[in-house]
Copies of this chain bind each other. A is one copy, B any other.
Amino acid sequence: MNAILIVAHGSRREESNEEIRRLTLQVAEKSAKHFDLIDTAFLELASPLIPEGIQALINKGADNVLVVPYFLARGTHVATDIPAEVAKAQHANPDTEIKISDYLGASDAMPDLLLKLAVSCQKD
């Protein structure tokens, strides 16, 4: 089974964490053709943390886990901290393929999304 784990920074404001969980549900509604399982995890400050989130997907039967960093810039979190957390889960589960996708801000589709956001507001 193929799984996605959307990873956000995590916030002391539980409302912000809930916002990510709701977004994950919206992705789930669209992703059934490509992925069997999808969940949210956080780098810090909120639960589940990345290794727990990956483990939960594996326990549900995932053979492949794709970690998708919901981050805007290639800072230390994207370059170092997320790979380090993913490595812990990989070490505990050597037979599972665990990959990390490009972070959100690097998406080729980002310029179009920003333009769409601006145009839709201009029309209001």
Contact = CB atoms under 8 A, between A and B. Distances in A.
Interface of A: 2, 4, 6, 8, 11, 13, 15-16, 19-20, 23, 26-27, 29-31, 34-35, 66, 68, 70, 72-75, 99, 101-102, 104-105, 107, 109-122
Question: Which applies to chain A's interface (DSSP): helix, strand, loop or mixed?
Answer: helix
Contacts of A20: 73
Contacts of A34: 115, 118-119, 122
Given A11-B75, A104-B117, A111 B16 contact: no
Contacts of A16: 73-75
This chain's copy number in the assembly: 2
Nearest to A69: B117
A23 B118 contact: no
Contact of A112 (B13, B30, B118): B30
Given A30-B115, A34-B115, A102 B121 contact: yes
A7 to B, nearest CB: 11
